[in-house]
Chain A
Amino acid sequence: MTAQPYRLAEGGVIDRTRPLSFSFNGRRLTGFAGDTLASALLANGVHLVGRSFKYHRPRGILTAGTEEPNALVQLETGNRSTPNLKATRVELYDGLAATSVNCWPGVRFDAGALIDAVHRMVPAGFYYKTFMWPRGGWHFYEKLIRRMAGMGRAPEGPDPDRYDRTNAHCEVLVVGAGPAGLAAARAAGRSGTRIILADEQPRPGGMLLNVTDTKGEPGADWIGDTLSELRSMPNVRVLTRTTVTGYFDHNFLVAVERVTDHLGPDAPAHLPRQRLWRIRAARVVLATGALERPLVFANNDRPGVMLAAAARAYVNAFAALPGRRAVVCTNNDSAYEAALDLHRNGVEITAIADLRTDPAGPAAEAAAAAGLNILGGHAVVDTSGRRRVRSAQVAGIGADGSLEGPVRALHCDLVLMSGGWSPAVHLFSQSGGRLRYDDALGVFLPDRARQPVQCAGAVNGADGTAACVLQGQDAGSGNRPAAASAPAAPEAGSHWPIPARNRSGEFRRFVDLQNDVTAADIALAVAEGYQSVEHLKRYTTLGMGTDQGKTGNVPGIAVLAGSLGAPLPAVGTTTFRPPYDPVTFGAIAGRDVGPLADPVRETPMHAWHVEAGAVFEDVGQWKRPFYYPLAGETKRDAVARECLAVRNAVGLMDATTLGKIVVSGRGAVAFLNRIYTNAWDDLEVGRCRYGLMLGEDGMVLDDGVTARLATNRFLMTTTTGNASRVLAWLEEWLQTEWPDLDVYLTSATEQFATVALAGPKARAVLSGLTSDIDVTTEAFPFMSWRSGHVAGFPARVFRISYSGELAYEISVPAAHGLSLWAALSRQGEDHGITPFGTEAMHVLRAEKGYLMVGQETDGTVTPIDLGMQWILKKKKDYIGRRSLARSAMLDPLRKRLVGLRTEDPELVLPEGAQILPTAPSGPPETMIGHVTSSYWSGVLRRSVALALVKGGRDRETTTVHVPLDGRTARAEICDPRFYDPDGARLRG
């Protein structure tokens, strides 16, 4: 086994009996079960973990948790690879493989580090200033910058892992299982109601896990007792490895549970990798703790510079020494505990530089008693060392905050810093709660809540385990937690930034380590007028990294306040937004991927279409046969053959997908009169009528044929894609505007299978399959319907046509659809019956100049534009009528429907092509319209096109110009009815 030179012989939560092998940047290393990747790297003496975002500076491990800005890694390779994971949060498993992000060729020698040498040329906002010339140049530069300032790489193939999503409801959701959260969950759990306790760590306990000497306050035993009580309560669910990332309205919270991430490839197959929890809680207790703040001194970003509490966690919880010789810099008491714990474990504490002139109190006394060298009124003002800190420069800081006295270099391999603690108010702020700045504590604290939420523990300003437990108990019981006890103030506003000893250092005082934002950048932004914290954030990118500035934001605000000469609360915070911690797309998508991303609807005849080799088209969620190519046929050949079969013999098409809505009730006629532009009173039972539906703005919404089944019952058809939209539209009017109308709407789309039988031989085919329907024109004229039996199945037959040929649409109960289709196919064999798809249907209707909703219409087209004034009933009101009366609607220069006959009959214009009145002469051109439909017409042996053109048919016989790729086509405006304009065929 490889030695772990910085591993302590005993202590910590790691399991020394389970060594784990892993690799970092190809180097084989060993850690133990219970390690994070960060603690295992430290145990091996690895501090250089990555390169920074902008300057490619060497970076190490700053923290021991979710707030980590530096130690980002790419985990694994191939399609399971995950970029930008925090080494401080990745749990070690056997065989784990991680690499650094944002460096080439490697983390030790990174070519991008040249940027750091010229850092003065790339200050805050440099890309706004530098790359805007020449005009449009940004598009060129952006690609380069993205490559230079990249992070990890997204995997290219589909994610092989499974993700889950689950909903949960509870009376109390407790976020965070530190002392306050555990106490809150226990108090709430005793009430017997449903409780969820969620914590992001693998083990409950929070900061308490990092403490070995609890000085009589609750410790490991207390955690154990509390947990076993919680586990004995059937009403309490404890979720570990679960980060609550979002707090939304009405106490809806989203959490991500990393179910098997810590097991790596050995994860059991039945478990999802991650699970997204959608939790609705009657009440929320936030026990989210506090995050330690860094100090802002020159070169505070070198590997080996670490937050004091993080070092304490590595020593106590992971038995990993982050160094052997440390210098501490602090403005508060908490770093002393870290220093003492490290000291006890053999780390030499060279000096504790305390920004407070006269550090007093129990922490300082204990440190002095242990013989530690405390320097009051001192700070670390600079560091040196290339890939690891080698010394810290310590100097006195005067009362005015300036550098005082000589600068001493202290040899060390670790610099610990503590700038006090920021309560983790992120979720509280997301919930809509207001923050207030507490001068005594020097922190932003939760103030007024907007939702049923309480904060307890360190997030609420409580100091010490006992105080946290008390607040937790109060909040868990539903009482207002007692006010925060005030610890020694960390003098938050002062000393940000700590003065540098030279000019070069002034530019290397990092505030946001992930995005390489320095105190100088903030000062520059202020000088350039970016004074609001929100502007500053966007200009400098402060707090905009994957860590969302968890460590750097408050120091950044303090630096801004200093630059402005304004008090810190006047500057305020930027808005906290979800997610608290990055969420994988996999967890959000859950199972809604691949075939489950959207439901697929198939007709009862689908199997037959598949068998026949149909090419399918998606229409809404439906799979519709597009065309049925024979062996060797192109799409154009197949469509032309299908069209000719309909024109000359007979074709059949699956029309099941058209929306069918049964409109019944005594008010049905009145309802149709209001919904459709034409009148329905005189439609006899047994007859059908085409109807056009408008929006209240007068624009065409949908069209279709409606049949009168009985005096008070109609069957309405809608276009396939609009079926549910139309039903919703009708319901809305009925329920909100006309509740007095006695009308009931029922969707019947799925209940019936419908086959369109079209072509001059349609009657012959149908008559051979029915004995109780008289199919003669006299008995069964165009635009009527009959019921009876077809192929032995109960059927309604509608004599309607969208192809312009003699045609029937036959509806049978859905279960008989396939049999009906087969029977019609057999019956029509002698007549050359041919299945045709939606594309042939489109061609056939375009040859007739029939509109297709969604093709000729786009929400800006009125019936007048389409030349359909004949369908607008004058003597009644209907939806959209008043809008059509607006003078602008009657403007003769509106785009209106016309036909287009290309000069070259072989040329099929592209749909969407622009139409010019004259040959193009260079931009700007005068555009008068566009092509809406364009096809090859087999029966006319030429192309046909429909278009919307200003002036419409007033331009008939004039020539227009259609610019295409590299040339211009000429076409003549004509009547859109290309084929059988008088409709003799469909009535025959």
Chain B
Amino acid sequence: MLLISCPWCGQRDESEFTCGGEAHIQRPPDPDALSDPEWADYLFMRTNPKGRHRERWCHTHGCGRWFNVERHTLTHDIISVYRMGEGPADDGDGDPS
């Protein structure tokens, strides 16, 4: 049972959240410009890393907000939590947005 820090509500049990899979997959602005394989790649293909992974989570049974979590898939350590539209805190550029 992970302990997840919702950026709006603070630390809550995993059971209050739903995981929305890999983060930072943007919907293509012009889907018609994509070939079928490119569209399938957007639609279905996800990375499955052993290690750091950026995911979208939603505090479904709380504030209802979506946000991003960087999680280690092996240890389940949560490295950072950041709001939609932001980058992870440890991007290195010192700027959370």
Contact = CB atoms under 8 A, between A and B. Distances in A.
Interface of A: 248-252, 278, 280, 432, 450, 696-697, 728, 731-732, 735-737, 739, 877, 881-883, 885-887
Interface stretch (B30-38, B45-53, B87-95): B30-38
A882 B39 contact: yes
Given A248-B1, A877-B30, 16 more contacts: A250-B3, A252-B1, A252-B3, A252-B13, A280-B13, A432-B75, A697-B43, A731-B64, A731-B66, A732-B20, A735-B65, A737-B26, A877-B31, A881-B31, A883-B43, A885-B32
A453 to B, nearest CB: 13
25 contacts: A249-B1, A249-B76, A250-B3, A252-B1, A252-B13, A278-B1, A280-B3, A432-B75, A450-B75, A696-B27, A728-B58, A731-B64, A735-B84, A736-B66, A737-B27, A739-B84, A739-B85, A877-B32, A882-B31, A882-B32, A882-B34, A882-B39, A883-B43, A885-B32, A886-B39
Contacts of B30: 877
Nearest to A248: B1
A886 B20 CA distance: 25
Given A877-B31, A882-B31, A886-B36, A735 B66 contact: yes
Contacts of B66: 731-732, 735-736
A589 to B, nearest CB: 15
Contacts of A278: 1
Nearest to B27: A737
A888 B56 CA distance: 31
B2 interface: yes
Contacts of B26: 737
A249 B4 CA distance: 11
Nearest to B18: A728
Contact of A736 (B56, B60, B75): B56
Measured as residues with beta carbon below 8 angstroms from the partner, the interface class of chain B is 20 to 34
Contacts of A248: 1
A981 B36 CA distance: 38
A736 B68 CA distance: 10
Interface centre among A280, A732, A735 (most CB of B within 10 A): A735
Contacts of B31: 877, 881-882
A882 B60 CA distance: 29
Main SS at interface, chain B? loop
A732 B58 contact: yes
Nearest to B34: A882
A804 to B, nearest CB: 36
Contacts of B64: 731
Nearest to A735: B66
Contact of B1 (A250, A731, A883, A886): A250
Contacts of B56: 736
B76 A883 contact: no
**Most chain A C-beta atoms within 10 Å of own C-beta, residue among B26, B36, B60:** B36
A450 B72 CA distance: 12
A877 B56 CA distance: 24
- Looking at A280, A736, A885, the one whose CB has the most chain B CB atoms below 10 A away is A736
Nearest to A450: B75
B2 A249 contact: yes
Contacts of B1: 248-250, 252, 278
B20 to A, nearest CB: 7
Nearest to A278: B1
B15 to A, nearest CB: 10
A886 B65 CA distance: 33
A255 B48 CA distance: 33
A251 to B, nearest CB: 8
Nearest to A878: B31
A302 to B, nearest CB: 44
Contacts of B76: 249-250
Given A728-B60, A882-B32, A250 B43 contact: no
Nearest to A882: B31
A251 B58 CA distance: 22
A881 to B, nearest CB: 7
Interface in B1-31: 1-3, 13, 20, 26-27, 30-31
Contacts of B85: 739
Contacts of A885: 32
A670 B43 CA distance: 22
Contacts of B34: 882
Max chain A Cβ within 10 angstroms of own Cβ: one of B1, B20, B65: B1
Contacts of A883: 39, 43
A68 B50 CA distance: 39
A697 B39 CA distance: 10
A664 B10 CA distance: 29
A696 B43 CA distance: 7
A249 B34 CA distance: 41
Contacts of A697: 43
Nearest to B32: A882
B85 to A, nearest CB: 6
A739 B60 CA distance: 18
A881 B32 CA distance: 9
Contacts of B43: 696-697, 883
A252 B14 CA distance: 11
Nearest to B67: A735
A876 B13 CA distance: 41
Given A697-B43, A883-B39, A736 B3 contact: no
Contacts of A882: 31-32, 34, 39
Contacts of B60: 728
A628 B42 CA distance: 49
Contacts of B32: 877, 882, 885
A575 to B, nearest CB: 15
A450 B3 CA distance: 15
A189 B21 CA distance: 42
Nearest to A887: B36
Contacts of A432: 75
A168 to B, nearest CB: 13
Contacts of A886: 36, 39
A736 B39 contact: no
A886 B30 CA distance: 15
Contacts of B13: 252, 280
A280 B31 CA distance: 46
B84 A736 contact: yes
A248 to B, nearest CB: 5
Contacts of A728: 58, 60
Contacts of B2: 249-250
Contacts of B84: 735-736, 739
Nearest to A695: B43
A438 to B, nearest CB: 25
A481 to B, nearest CB: 23
